[in-house]
Structure 1
Amino acid sequence: MAVEDSLPTLHRLADLAELLIPGAVVYVRYSPGPESDAEHPSTDHESGLEMPGVSVNPLNAPGWWSLPVEDWLARRIVQYAHQQAEGARPWVLTGKEVDFGPDNEPLLVDVEPIAWISGDLVREAHERYHSRLDAGRATHED
Protein backbone atom coordinates (compact mmCIF):
# COMPACT_ATOMS: atom_id res chain seq x y z
CA MET A 1 0.00 0.00 0.00
CA ALA A 2 1.28 3.45 -0.89
CA VAL A 3 2.04 5.89 1.92
CA GLU A 4 -0.57 8.25 0.53
CA ASP A 5 -3.27 5.58 0.76
CA SER A 6 -2.59 5.04 4.45
CA LEU A 7 -2.72 8.71 5.48
CA PRO A 8 -5.75 9.79 7.48
CA THR A 9 -7.80 12.72 6.22
CA LEU A 10 -8.60 15.71 8.42
CA HIS A 11 -12.08 17.16 7.96
CA ARG A 12 -12.25 20.03 10.49
CA LEU A 13 -9.99 22.82 11.72
CA ALA A 14 -10.35 21.39 15.21
CA ASP A 15 -8.81 18.11 13.97
CA LEU A 16 -5.89 20.04 12.50
CA ALA A 17 -5.47 22.01 15.74
CA GLU A 18 -5.03 18.75 17.65
CA LEU A 19 -1.82 18.11 15.70
CA LEU A 20 -0.17 21.21 17.14
CA ILE A 21 2.02 20.00 19.96
CA PRO A 22 4.29 22.42 21.85
CA GLY A 23 7.89 21.97 20.73
CA ALA A 24 6.99 20.28 17.42
CA VAL A 25 6.41 22.10 14.17
CA VAL A 26 3.96 20.86 11.57
CA TYR A 27 3.60 22.25 8.09
CA VAL A 28 1.13 22.37 5.23
CA ARG A 29 2.09 21.66 1.67
CA TYR A 30 0.05 21.88 -1.51
CA SER A 31 1.30 19.33 -4.05
CA PRO A 32 0.22 16.09 -5.75
CA GLY A 33 1.40 14.30 -2.58
CA PRO A 34 4.38 12.79 -0.75
CA GLU A 35 5.23 10.19 -3.38
CA SER A 36 5.26 12.71 -6.22
CA ASP A 37 7.37 15.09 -4.12
CA ALA A 38 9.92 12.33 -3.47
CA GLU A 39 10.33 11.92 -7.25
CA HIS A 40 10.22 15.62 -8.19
CA PRO A 41 11.98 18.08 -5.87
CA SER A 42 10.72 21.63 -5.45
CA THR A 43 11.93 24.05 -8.08
CA ASP A 44 12.17 27.81 -7.99
CA HIS A 45 9.93 28.64 -10.93
CA GLU A 46 11.55 32.00 -11.71
CA SER A 47 15.17 30.79 -11.85
CA GLY A 48 14.55 27.16 -12.73
CA LEU A 49 16.87 26.08 -9.91
CA GLU A 50 16.16 22.92 -7.97
CA MET A 51 15.79 23.60 -4.25
CA PRO A 52 17.36 21.39 -1.56
CA GLY A 53 14.02 20.40 -0.02
CA VAL A 54 10.27 20.66 -0.40
CA SER A 55 8.65 24.05 0.03
CA VAL A 56 6.23 24.20 2.99
CA ASN A 57 4.42 26.62 5.27
CA PRO A 58 4.42 26.27 9.07
CA LEU A 59 1.08 25.80 10.78
CA ASN A 60 2.12 26.61 14.33
CA ALA A 61 0.91 30.01 15.50
CA PRO A 62 3.56 32.54 16.55
CA GLY A 63 3.87 33.57 20.19
CA TRP A 64 2.14 36.92 19.63
CA TRP A 65 -1.04 35.29 18.27
CA SER A 66 -3.74 35.65 20.94
CA LEU A 67 -6.81 34.66 18.89
CA PRO A 68 -8.00 31.05 18.69
CA VAL A 69 -5.51 28.77 16.95
CA GLU A 70 -8.23 27.77 14.48
CA ASP A 71 -8.21 31.37 13.19
CA TRP A 72 -4.47 31.10 12.51
CA LEU A 73 -4.88 27.72 10.83
CA ALA A 74 -7.69 29.06 8.64
CA ARG A 75 -5.44 31.91 7.56
CA ARG A 76 -2.56 29.58 6.71
CA ILE A 77 -4.75 27.14 4.78
CA VAL A 78 -6.48 29.89 2.78
CA GLN A 79 -3.27 31.74 1.86
CA TYR A 80 -2.16 28.88 -0.39
CA ALA A 81 -5.48 27.29 -1.36
CA HIS A 82 -5.21 28.78 -4.88
CA GLN A 83 -2.62 26.09 -5.58
CA GLN A 84 -5.42 23.52 -5.67
CA ALA A 85 -6.36 24.90 -9.08
CA GLU A 86 -2.96 23.68 -10.29
CA GLY A 87 -3.77 20.08 -9.28
CA ALA A 88 -2.19 20.28 -5.85
CA ARG A 89 -3.76 18.81 -2.71
CA PRO A 90 -3.17 20.11 0.81
CA TRP A 91 -1.46 17.78 3.26
CA VAL A 92 0.19 18.04 6.66
CA LEU A 93 3.76 16.96 7.25
CA THR A 94 6.81 17.36 9.39
CA GLY A 95 10.51 17.13 8.61
CA LYS A 96 13.88 18.80 9.00
CA GLU A 97 14.31 22.42 7.87
CA VAL A 98 17.43 22.74 5.71
CA ASP A 99 17.07 26.12 4.03
CA PHE A 100 14.44 28.57 2.81
CA GLY A 101 12.84 29.24 -0.55
CA PRO A 102 12.38 32.40 -2.61
CA ASP A 103 9.33 33.49 -0.58
CA ASN A 104 11.22 32.85 2.67
CA GLU A 105 9.30 29.60 3.18
CA PRO A 106 11.04 26.69 4.93
CA LEU A 107 12.46 23.88 2.80
CA LEU A 108 12.22 20.41 4.36
CA VAL A 109 14.04 17.11 3.97
CA ASP A 110 13.34 13.84 5.79
CA VAL A 111 9.65 14.49 5.20
CA GLU A 112 7.15 12.58 7.29
CA PRO A 113 3.58 12.80 5.95
CA ILE A 114 0.92 13.12 8.65
CA ALA A 115 -2.48 13.59 6.99
CA TRP A 116 -4.43 14.87 4.00
CA ILE A 117 -6.59 17.99 4.38
CA SER A 118 -10.10 17.52 3.02
CA GLY A 119 -12.10 19.89 0.86
CA ASP A 120 -14.48 20.29 3.81
CA LEU A 121 -11.63 21.58 5.98
CA VAL A 122 -10.53 24.00 3.23
CA ARG A 123 -14.11 25.30 2.93
CA GLU A 124 -14.35 25.70 6.71
CA ALA A 125 -11.03 27.58 6.64
CA HIS A 126 -12.35 29.96 3.95
CA GLU A 127 -15.53 30.62 5.92
CA ARG A 128 -13.69 31.21 9.16
CA TYR A 129 -11.00 33.36 7.55
CA HIS A 130 -13.53 35.66 5.90
CA SER A 131 -15.91 35.83 8.88
CA ARG A 132 -13.42 36.28 11.72
CA LEU A 133 -10.47 38.15 10.18
CA ASP A 134 -10.17 41.28 8.06
CA ALA A 135 -9.24 39.16 5.04
CA GLY A 136 -7.10 40.92 2.46
CA ARG A 137 -6.54 44.10 4.45
CA ALA A 138 -3.19 45.69 3.67
CA THR A 139 -0.60 45.89 6.43
CA HIS A 140 0.14 49.54 5.68
CA GLU A 141 -2.52 52.07 4.73
CA ASP A 142 -1.35 54.71 2.22
Structure 2
Amino acid sequence: MHQHDRASMATIASLDELTRLMAARRGLYVRWSLGPQVDLTGTRSRDALTGVELPGLSANPLDVEDWWGDRSLRTWAARRLYDYSHLPRIRDGRVRPWLLHGREAARGPDNEPLVRDVQPLGWVAEEVITQAEEEIARQTGAWGPLDRR
Protein backbone atom coordinates (compact mmCIF):
# COMPACT_ATOMS: atom_id res chain seq x y z
CA MET A 1 0.00 0.00 0.00
CA HIS A 2 1.36 3.38 -0.92
CA GLN A 3 -1.32 6.06 -0.62
CA HIS A 4 -3.42 5.81 2.53
CA ASP A 5 -6.44 7.89 3.40
CA ARG A 6 -9.74 7.34 5.15
CA ALA A 7 -11.43 6.43 1.88
CA SER A 8 -8.91 3.86 0.63
CA MET A 9 -8.05 1.91 3.77
CA ALA A 10 -10.23 -0.93 5.05
CA THR A 11 -12.08 -0.59 8.36
CA ILE A 12 -12.14 -3.16 11.15
CA ALA A 13 -15.83 -2.97 12.10
CA SER A 14 -16.09 -5.12 15.24
CA LEU A 15 -14.13 -6.35 18.21
CA ASP A 16 -14.74 -9.91 16.98
CA GLU A 17 -13.21 -9.05 13.59
CA LEU A 18 -10.14 -7.61 15.31
CA THR A 19 -9.89 -10.71 17.49
CA ARG A 20 -9.97 -12.96 14.40
CA LEU A 21 -7.14 -10.93 12.82
CA MET A 22 -5.09 -11.23 16.02
CA ALA A 23 -5.64 -15.00 16.15
CA ALA A 24 -4.40 -15.36 12.57
CA ARG A 25 -1.25 -13.19 12.66
CA ARG A 26 1.40 -12.04 15.11
CA GLY A 27 3.14 -8.67 14.91
CA LEU A 28 -0.03 -6.58 14.93
CA TYR A 29 -0.16 -3.17 16.59
CA VAL A 30 -2.64 -0.36 17.07
CA ARG A 31 -1.45 3.18 16.56
CA TRP A 32 -3.47 6.21 17.64
CA SER A 33 -2.73 9.05 15.24
CA LEU A 34 -4.00 10.99 12.22
CA GLY A 35 -3.33 7.84 10.17
CA PRO A 36 -0.74 6.25 7.95
CA GLN A 37 -1.14 8.91 5.27
CA VAL A 38 0.49 11.31 7.76
CA ASP A 39 2.70 8.89 9.69
CA LEU A 40 4.36 7.27 6.68
CA THR A 41 5.17 10.47 4.79
CA GLY A 42 7.97 11.76 6.97
CA THR A 43 6.28 12.35 10.32
CA ARG A 44 8.19 10.72 13.15
CA SER A 45 7.17 9.86 16.67
CA ARG A 46 8.80 12.18 19.20
CA ASP A 47 9.31 12.04 22.93
CA ALA A 48 6.72 14.49 24.30
CA LEU A 49 9.03 15.59 27.13
CA THR A 50 12.28 16.27 25.22
CA GLY A 51 11.22 16.41 21.57
CA VAL A 52 13.77 13.73 20.64
CA GLU A 53 12.90 11.94 17.39
CA LEU A 54 12.25 8.24 17.96
CA PRO A 55 13.47 5.43 15.65
CA GLY A 56 9.99 4.17 14.78
CA LEU A 57 6.29 4.83 15.25
CA SER A 58 5.02 4.38 18.79
CA ALA A 59 2.30 1.74 18.79
CA ASN A 60 0.39 -0.55 21.12
CA PRO A 61 1.17 -4.28 20.66
CA LEU A 62 -1.70 -6.72 20.22
CA ASP A 63 0.23 -10.00 20.49
CA VAL A 64 -0.95 -12.02 23.48
CA GLU A 65 1.64 -12.66 26.18
CA ASP A 66 2.23 -16.24 27.37
CA TRP A 67 1.10 -15.38 30.90
CA TRP A 68 -2.42 -14.67 29.55
CA GLY A 69 -2.80 -18.42 29.07
CA ASP A 70 -6.07 -19.60 27.52
CA ARG A 71 -8.09 -16.58 28.66
CA SER A 72 -10.34 -14.72 26.21
CA LEU A 73 -8.55 -13.20 23.22
CA ARG A 74 -11.52 -10.82 22.88
CA THR A 75 -10.90 -9.48 26.39
CA TRP A 76 -7.18 -9.08 25.61
CA ALA A 77 -8.02 -7.12 22.45
CA ALA A 78 -10.52 -4.97 24.37
CA ARG A 79 -7.96 -4.11 27.01
CA ARG A 80 -5.29 -3.18 24.47
CA LEU A 81 -7.72 -0.75 22.82
CA TYR A 82 -9.30 0.56 26.00
CA ASP A 83 -6.01 1.45 27.69
CA TYR A 84 -5.34 4.22 25.15
CA SER A 85 -8.89 5.22 24.20
CA HIS A 86 -8.44 8.57 25.96
CA LEU A 87 -5.91 9.82 23.37
CA PRO A 88 -8.40 11.51 20.99
CA ARG A 89 -9.83 13.47 23.94
CA ILE A 90 -6.49 14.73 25.23
CA ARG A 91 -4.42 15.09 22.04
CA ASP A 92 -6.53 15.92 19.02
CA GLY A 93 -10.11 14.98 18.19
CA ARG A 94 -8.94 13.82 14.75
CA VAL A 95 -6.73 11.09 16.28
CA ARG A 96 -8.07 7.61 15.43
CA PRO A 97 -6.81 4.08 16.01
CA TRP A 98 -5.54 2.07 13.06
CA LEU A 99 -4.23 -1.46 12.79
CA LEU A 100 -0.81 -2.19 11.40
CA HIS A 101 1.70 -4.98 11.02
CA GLY A 102 5.28 -4.10 11.77
CA ARG A 103 8.58 -4.92 13.39
CA GLU A 104 9.63 -3.59 16.77
CA ALA A 105 12.86 -1.61 16.31
CA ALA A 106 13.28 -0.18 19.82
CA ARG A 107 11.41 0.94 22.93
CA GLY A 108 10.27 4.48 23.63
CA PRO A 109 10.46 6.53 26.83
CA ASP A 110 7.25 4.93 28.20
CA ASN A 111 8.61 1.47 27.27
CA GLU A 112 6.22 1.40 24.27
CA PRO A 113 7.27 -0.43 21.10
CA LEU A 114 8.68 1.73 18.34
CA VAL A 115 7.67 0.03 15.10
CA ARG A 116 9.28 0.05 11.64
CA ASP A 117 8.49 -1.72 8.35
CA VAL A 118 4.89 -0.63 8.85
CA GLN A 119 2.10 -2.20 6.78
CA PRO A 120 -1.23 -0.42 7.40
CA LEU A 121 -4.12 -2.90 7.61
CA GLY A 122 -7.16 -0.80 8.45
CA TRP A 123 -8.90 1.81 10.56
CA VAL A 124 -10.42 0.63 13.83
CA ALA A 125 -14.04 1.80 13.82
CA GLU A 126 -15.46 3.80 16.73
CA GLU A 127 -17.90 0.93 17.32
CA VAL A 128 -14.93 -1.34 18.11
CA ILE A 129 -13.87 1.07 20.86
CA THR A 130 -17.43 1.08 22.21
CA GLN A 131 -17.43 -2.74 22.20
CA ALA A 132 -14.05 -2.73 23.97
CA GLU A 133 -15.41 -0.39 26.66
CA GLU A 134 -18.40 -2.67 27.14
CA GLU A 135 -16.14 -5.75 27.39
CA ILE A 136 -13.96 -4.06 30.02
CA ALA A 137 -17.00 -2.87 32.00
CA ARG A 138 -18.07 -6.52 32.34
CA GLN A 139 -14.76 -7.49 33.99
CA THR A 140 -14.32 -7.81 37.74
CA GLY A 141 -12.18 -4.89 38.90
CA ALA A 142 -12.67 -2.77 35.77
CA TRP A 143 -10.36 0.24 35.53
CA GLY A 144 -10.05 3.43 33.52
CA PRO A 145 -7.80 4.16 30.52
CA LEU A 146 -4.12 5.04 31.03
CA ASP A 147 -4.73 8.80 31.05
CA ARG A 148 -1.58 10.47 32.40
CA ARG A 149 -3.08 13.97 32.81
> So what's the TM-score if we normalise by structure 1?
0.89
Partner of 2:113: 106
Structure 1 residue aligned with 2:43, among 27, 40, 44?
40
Q: How many residues align?
A: 137
CA–CA separation in structure 1 for the residues paired with 2:137 and 2:25: 29
Structure 1: runs of 5 or more not aligned? 138-142
CA–CA separation in structure 2 for the residues paired with 1:133 and 1:8: 34
Residue identity in the other structure for 2:3: A
Identity %: 36
CA–CA separation in structure 2 for the residues paired with 1:34 and 1:10: 15
Give RMSD over aligned pairs. 1.8
CA–CA separation in structure 1 for the residues paired with 2:130 and 2:73: 17
Poorly superposed stretches of 4+, deviation over 3 Å: none
> So what's the TM-score if we normalise by structure 2?
0.85
Greater alpha carbon shift after TM alignment, 104-113 vs 58-67: 58-67
Structure 2: runs of 5 or more not aligned? 145-149
Matched, 1:7 2:9: yes
CA–CA separation in structure 2 for the residues paired with 1:101 and 1:113: 20
Partner of 2:62: 59
Q: 1:44 to 1:133 in 2, by over 3 A?
A: farther
